[in-house]
Every structure is written in structure tokens, then in C-alpha cells.
């Protein structure tokens, strides 16, 4: 990757008066970074940054986010353009290879992914080791980690061909494994993938088809599913992506690294946001109660918060929400569901978009608000919301992992700490304590 040296940054030790010049590096877009790699060697000090919120942990050419302006780019393409004009495998190819595929590349890539969607038949026995009421994320984490025990021919991270095969396998098999986790939890037979269906259609088929009757896939529903996958494909150096990179830096096989990412995603502060939206709607209960809960949300002393509004990264409108809003309304119109919770969600959206309190604070509905509503309308139980997030994010994790492995001079991650424990003390035998 190309780095641009933008000069230096001078750091002065006020205790000694000594100054140190630190290189400043420019990226293509966004804030420049101060290179502190030699800071400890030159000053004897580490930096302290809990949560790494001010630390650039890597170079990456995959995704760019400008939260203040509401911008999300993958390899330079806006998320709005990609969601409107591409399908999920188009975006997967872009993340993995750096550009959108031409017609021949697209045909080959789609075929290669499609023909990797089946899993080893013995893997189905693995599910029987889990309780039926196990959370699908627990099952997903365990099964993905176990793939390295089934596919020994794609665990050598130093072999370019094996890295490529592992990438295809993870992207292709994740929907199959996720759908199997759902089917197992409800006691229904597993559905084999079908090569005549698109990626999104195939996932819906494996999730909801039953042997007793044909399963018809609505184009509107399939498109909404495809958009959800696109909108969650990658989101820069978040907690789960950083976990994948840190795990991969040790040389761990790709299946183990993605399992680690799934474990991180499972946390409610990360992948559970759209599930929290549904829980909030259930707490509100009925659209007649909205005004009461809006008042509570404005009250700083009330613990109630409106979930799915505003975003930690996007200080303006979440660009993914604009796309998801359109799909949300299309799906609800297509399915014409008589669901009070969905009526409540639409009423809440209207009020929040017009209320001065939310507009002034830019607390707009985010992608989690709309995706939670769409997934409920499609019939996904809330326990599957984070699983679906993992299905979408796998290609981002894999692309980030590949980028890290292929980076010259890549090193194992080793964060530092500020030690606040006791100083060295003498050992006291047990009888004298």
C-alpha cells in the first residue's frame, strides 16, 4: 500500500524539555495519522488509548467511513450506489479483489461461490451435540470453528491458493451453516442449498422452505435480503473485524479467526442492535403509547432510550439507513402484514423524523431500526438477527484477514498496558500470612 509522508509532529516532554519528531502519514482520505511505532524506543513511553478510539491499528484499502458527513465507501464506491445497482456477490468480489467484476469475472465468481455452498455431510452430525434451545450464535461459533477439522486443505495461510479456497468456503458456507442452526433450533429438517438460486434467495430457501410444500420467493423479499447483506458486508475496524485481524496476526487458521469474529459480534453492544430495536418496540407495546415513551426518551433522568436512532459513528444520517428505509417500506407493502408491532414501528419512524428534538440532535433512524423491522416481517426470530449479521459480515472479515496476511512486514498484535497493580513484594509462606 502507498503511504504519503505529510511531515512531522513534535512531541515535547515538559519534564525534561526534550522534543521528539514523529512522522505524520496521509491516507487517501480522512484524518492523517501520527506514526508512534518508534515512540517507546525513543521516549520510553507508550500511548494510552482505551478502546483504541484514537488509534489507527492498520492500513486498509477496503472501507472508508466519514461519520460526520454520513459517508460509507467500499473500495471508493458509495454504499448507496452499490446497494442500488449491485447484488451481494458483486460487493463480495469488490471487497476481496479490489474492483467490481466484469461480466466473465462475475459469472465465474458467482459459480465458484455457489458450488461451495454445500457442507460436509458429517457436519450435520455436529449439530446434534448442541441442545435444541442453544442460541444460534453459540451454534454458529462452534460449527465455524470446527470447519478447520473438516477442510485441512485450506488452512495454510502462507499458500495463496489455500487462502483463496478458504475465502470461498467461508463466504459460501456461512448461509448454509446459519440456516442449519435455525432449522435445528425449531426441529425442522435441514435444507440443502440450490445452485439455481441467487445467494440471497438460497439463504431464504434454506431458512424457510419445508418438505411439505414448495417455497415461493418474492423478488421484493429477495432484494431486501440482498440489500441487508450488502449493507452489513464491511464496516471498517469495528470490534469484530479487529478481533479477526488480531486473531489472524498470530497465524491462526481462517476458520478460527472468523469464529473469533462471530464471538465478538455476539456482544449486544455490537451485533445485537437490531434485536434491541424489536425489544424496545415490544416495551412500547402500542402506537398509542408512543408519545409517553418519546417524553421518557427526552428525559435525561429516565433510563429509557430509543434504540435504533442515531449512531456512534455516523453523526449525520446513516447512509445505509436511506437504502434500508426504501426496502423496509417495499417489504411491508408487499407482505401487507397485520402486525401491531410493525404499525408501531412506522408510526415511531414518522414522529422521530419530524420531532424537533430528534431532528436537531440528528437522532435519525439508523440501519438497525429498519433491518430489525424487515427481518421481523420476513419471519426471522430475533435470536437469528445477529446470525444474519454474521452471514453478511463474513466477506468483510475474510477480506480484512486476507489484506492483513498479505501485508509485507505483518506482525502479531501485541497491545500494551498501563500497569496499576502492586509493585514487586516478598513472598510470604502460607503459615505466616
CB 300 within 8 A of CB 361: no
How far CA 126 is from CA of 105, 120, 130, 181, 386, in Å, comes to: 35, 11, 8, 11, 21
The residues carrying an active-site annotation are 311, 368
Question: Rounded to whole angstroms, what are the CA distances from 358 to 85, 182, 295, 352, 362?
Answer: 31, 37, 12, 6, 6
- Which cell is 48 given? 494510552
Map residue 399 onto helix, strand or coil: helix
DSSP per position, 149-198: GT-GGG--TT-HHHHHHHHHHHHHHHHHHHHHHHHHHHTPPPPPP-TTS-
For 117-147, give the DSSP string.
----TTHHHHHTTS-TTS-HHHHHHHHHHHG
Rounded-to-integer distance, Cα 401 and Cα 410, Å: 11
Residue 78 three-state SS: strand
DSSP characters over 281-343: HHHH-SGGGHHHHHHHHH-TTS----TTBS-SS-SS--HHHHHHHHHHHHHHHHH----HHHH
Q: Could you identify the residue written with the cell 509462606?
A: 429
Amino acid at each position: 500500500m502507498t503511504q504519503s509522508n505529510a511531515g512531522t509532529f513534535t512531541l515535547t516532554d515538559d519534564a525534561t524539555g526534550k522534543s521528539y519528531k514523529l512522522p505524520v502519514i496521509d491516507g487517501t482520505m480522512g484524518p492523517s495519522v501520527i506514526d508512534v511505532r518508534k515512540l517507546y524506543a525513543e521516549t520510553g513511553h507508550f500511548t494510552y488509548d482505551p478502546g483504541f478510539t484514537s488509534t489507527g491499528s492498520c492500513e486498509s484499502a477496503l472501507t472508508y467511513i466519514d461519520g460526520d458527513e454520513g459517508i460509507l465507501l467500499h473500495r471508493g464506491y458509495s454504499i448507496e450506489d452499490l446497494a442500488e445497482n449491485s447484488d451481494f456477490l458483486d460487493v463480495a468480489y469488490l471487497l476481496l479483489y479490489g474492483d467490481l467484476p466484469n461480466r466473465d469475472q462475475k459469472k465465474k465468481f458467482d459459480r465458484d461461490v455457489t458450488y461451495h455452498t454445500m457442507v460436509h455431510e458429517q457436519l450435520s452430525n455436529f449439530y446434534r451435540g448442541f441442545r435444541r434451545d442453544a442460541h444460534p450464535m453459540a451454534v454458529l461459533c462452534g460449527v465455524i470453528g470446527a470447519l478447520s477439522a473438516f477442510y485441512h486443505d485450506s488452512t495454510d495461510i502462507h499458500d495463496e491458493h489455500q487462502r483463496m479456497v478458504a475465502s470461498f468456503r467461508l463466504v459460501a458456507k456461512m448461509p448454509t451453516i446459519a440456516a442449519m442452526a435455525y432449522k435445528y433450533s425449531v426441529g425442522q429438517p435441514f435444507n440443502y442449498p440450490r445452485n439455481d438460486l441467487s445467494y440471497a434467495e438460497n439463504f431464504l430457501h434454506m431458512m424457510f422452505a419445508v418438505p411439505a410444500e414448495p417455497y415461493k420467493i418474492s423478488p421484493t423479499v429477495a432484494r431486501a435480503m440482498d440489500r441487508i447483506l450488502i449493507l452489513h458486508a464491511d464496516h471498517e475496524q469495528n470490534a469484530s473485524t479487529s478481533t479477526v485481524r488480531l486473531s489472524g496476526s498470530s497465524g491462526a487458521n481462517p476458520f478460527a479467526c472468523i469464529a473469533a469474529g462471530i464471538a465478538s459480534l455476539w456482544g449486544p453492544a455490537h451485533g445485537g442492535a437490531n434485536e434491541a430495536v424489536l425489544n424496545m418496540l415490544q416495551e412500547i407495546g402500542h402506537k398509542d403509547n408512543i408519545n409517553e415513551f418519546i417524553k421518557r426518551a427526552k428525559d435525561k433522568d429516565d433510563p429509557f432510550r430509543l434504540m435504533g436512532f442515531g449512531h456512534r459513528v455516523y453523526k449525520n444520517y446513516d447512509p445505509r439507513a436511506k437504502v434500508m428505509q426504501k426496502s423496509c417500506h417495499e417489504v411491508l407493502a408487499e407482505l401487507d402484514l397485520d402486525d401491531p408491532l410493525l404499525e408501531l414501528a412506522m408510526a415511531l419512524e414518522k414522529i422521530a423524523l419530524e420531532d424537533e428534538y430528534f431532528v436537531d440532535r440528528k437522532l435519525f433512524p439508523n440501519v438497525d431500526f429498519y433491518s430489525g423491522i424487515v427481518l421481523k416481517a420476513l419471519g426471522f426470530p430475533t435470536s437469528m438477527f445477529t446470525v444474519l449479521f454474521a452471514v453478511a459480515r463474513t466477506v468483510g472479515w475474510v477480506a480484512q484477514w486476507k489484506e492483513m496476511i498479505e501485508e509485507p512486514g505483518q506482525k502479531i498484535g501485541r497491545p500494551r498496558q498501563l500497569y496499576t497493580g502492586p509493585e514487586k513484594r516478598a513472598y510470604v509462606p502460607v503459615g505466616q500470612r
